């Protein structure tokens, strides 16, 4: 299939003629395909949407990406409106390494802590850039962080992203297991919510499981627990004290006390000892906090995949074989809308957690305007 239509102004050369390749992903907005620039042979990715809701979110992502220029954010190559304005194609640079979720799965189901440190620092640099420009990503997770074959890390999927000054509390979207408590409660959009999601993303990398795995019986239970309890996801039992302290700073339930991306960039956890300054790691012994890995007693839910401080020695070992869901396109809703019964889902959908087997397609996809 060749492209045609009109294009936007973008940061790198956009294709004039292109051919669509195989599907590499999909979401609630539409599809994602590998594509080739016929003039250069270069590869890129095309995200396409035809539904009214899909067009809205893809146009929002295009508007955000076109305004950004950072080595830590995927670059927009162009966009094309066709079909009489009923279909939008968004062209984005190709990241050959895939997502962090793909890499974690391909390398044994969990990543070494040193690699996590390196990736976390790159993610923080991307978040710092976004936040300095008044943008909240709103859907940070391993599946939305991409890698090049050389290890470059870039933030992707800006369909849920918002500009802080132009957005109210209503209509927030994101992925529930990564969302900060104040977001689910409908408390408004703030950069601090991305930091909570970063903590959840680190747990993904360290365990190969989703945040809240073993603590949550179904998606609706997840919403209630995140919004209404004082709990946090269990921290990886094998993490260093630096790593645990870093997670404490990310997963502080009070957003006003949560560290910023700028502050976290100075944390010993993301200061690479291979960069020639070992003093930061020597000083880390004095810096590391002695706070517990979890604020509540052992979960009442079965098959806990990582333990908290109250667990026994036998429970401290991560259970690698437990089934874990891996949703990708799951956008959710403010908790207040759940209470007011305004989300427009059926009773059967709300009870679907009873047969929750771990497939990413089994998550309810809900977005609000």
Mean pLDDT, consecutive 10-residue segments, the chain of 369 residues?
42 73 81 93 93 87 94 94 86 94 94 96 98 95 94 94 69 79 83 96 95 80 85 93 97 96 97 49 39 31 35 41 41 43 33 33 39
Instruction: Name which of 120, 65, 141 is nearest 331 in CA terms.
Output: 141
At 167 the pLDDT is 55
Respond yes or no: is residue 139 known to be catalytic: yes
Which residues neighbour 16 within 8 Å (Cβ) at sequence distance 6 or greater?
A: 39
At 368 the pLDDT is 42
From the candidate CATH numbers 3.40.50.1260, 3.40.50.800, 3.30.200.20, 3.20.20.70, the one assigned to the domain spanning 6-93: 3.30.200.20
Q: Can you tell me the distance from the alpha carbon of 76 to that of 83, in angstroms, rounded to the nearest whole number?
A: 21
At 173 the pLDDT is 67
Q: Can you tell me the distance from the alpha carbon of 182 to that of 194, in angstroms, rounded to the nearest whole number?
A: 11
Of the residues 69, 139, 194, 245, which is catalytic?
139
**The token pair that represents 40 in the structure block:** 């250069």
Looking at the whole model, is its pTM more than 0.85? no
CATH of domain 98-362: 1.10.510.10
At 272 the pLDDT is 62
**The token pair that represents 159 in the structure block:** 């369909």
Residue 348 is classified by DSSP as H
Helices 113-132, 192-207: axis angle to 10 degrees equals 160
Q: Can you tell me the distance from the alpha carbon of 4 to that of 308, in angstroms, rounded to the nearest whole number?
A: 55
At 312 the pLDDT is 37
At 107 the pLDDT is 93
Max intra-chain CA distance, the chain: 64
Residue spans of the domains in the chain: they are 6-93, 98-362
Which residues neighbour 199 within 8 Å (Cβ) at sequence distance 6 or greater?
A: 211, 233, 247, 250, 251
Beta-carbon neighbour count of residue 285 at 10 Å? Answer: 10
97, containing H or E segment: none
Pairs from 161-168 (Cβ < 8 Å, separation ≥ 24): 161/60, 161/61, 161/64, 161/130, 161/135, 161/136, 161/137, 162/135, 162/136, 162/138, 162/189, 163/64, 163/134, 163/135, 164/134, 164/135, 164/136, 164/189, 164/190, 164/191, 165/134
- Would the CA dihedral through 175, 176, 181, 182 be positive or negative? positive
pLDDT digits (tens, 9 = 90+) for 78-122: 999 887 778 899 999 999 999 999 999 999 999 999 999 999 999
**The token pair that represents 69 in the structure block:** 């220029």
**The token pair that represents 150 in the structure block:** 């050389």
């Amino acid at each position: 299939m060749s492209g045609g239509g009109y294009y936007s102004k973008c940061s790198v050369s956009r294709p004039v003629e292109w051919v669509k390749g195989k599907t590499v992903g999909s979401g609630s907005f539409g599809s994602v395909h590998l594509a080739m620039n016929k003039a250069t042979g270069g590869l890129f990715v095309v995200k396409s949407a035809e539904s009214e809701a899909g067009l809205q979110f893809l146009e929002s992502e295009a508007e955000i990406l076109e305004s950004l220029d950072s080595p830590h954010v995927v670059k927009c190559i162009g966009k094309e409106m066709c079909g009489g304005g009923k279909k939008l194609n968004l062209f984005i640079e190709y990241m050959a390494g895939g997502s962090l979720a793909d890499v974690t799965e391909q390398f044994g189901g969990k990543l070494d802590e040193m690699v996590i440190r390196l990736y976390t620092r790159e993610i923080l640099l991307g978040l710092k850039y976004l936040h300095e420009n008044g943008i909240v990503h709103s859907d940070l997770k391993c599946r939305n962080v991409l890698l090049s074959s050389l290890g470059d890390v870039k933030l992707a999927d800006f369909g849920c992203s918002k500009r802080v000054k132009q957005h109210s509390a209503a209509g927030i979207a994101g992925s529930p297991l990564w969302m900060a408590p104040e977001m689910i409660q409908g408390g408004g959009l703030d950069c601090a919510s991305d930091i909570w999601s970063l903590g959840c993303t680190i747990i993904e990398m360290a365990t190969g499981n989703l945040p809240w795995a073993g603590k949550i019986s179904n998606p609706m239970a997840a919403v209630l627990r995140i919004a209404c309890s004082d709990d946090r996801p269990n921290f990886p039992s094998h993490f260093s004290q630096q790593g645990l302290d870093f997670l404490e700073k990310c997963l502080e339930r009070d957003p006003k006390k949560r560290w910023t991306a700028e502050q976290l960039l100075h944390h010993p956890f993301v200061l690479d000892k291979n960069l020639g300054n070992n003093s930061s790691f020597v000083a880390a012994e004095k810096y590391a906090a002695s706070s517990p890995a979890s604020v509540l007693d052992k979960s009442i839910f079965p098959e806990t995949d990582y333990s908290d401080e109250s667990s026994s020695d036998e429970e401290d070992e991560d259970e690698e074989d437990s089934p874990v869901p891996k949703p990708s396109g799951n956008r959710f809703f403010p908790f207040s809308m759940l209470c007011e019964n305004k989300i427009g889902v059926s009773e059967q959908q709300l009870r679907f957690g009873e047969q929750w087997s771990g497939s990413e397609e089994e998550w309810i996809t809900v977005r609000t305007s």
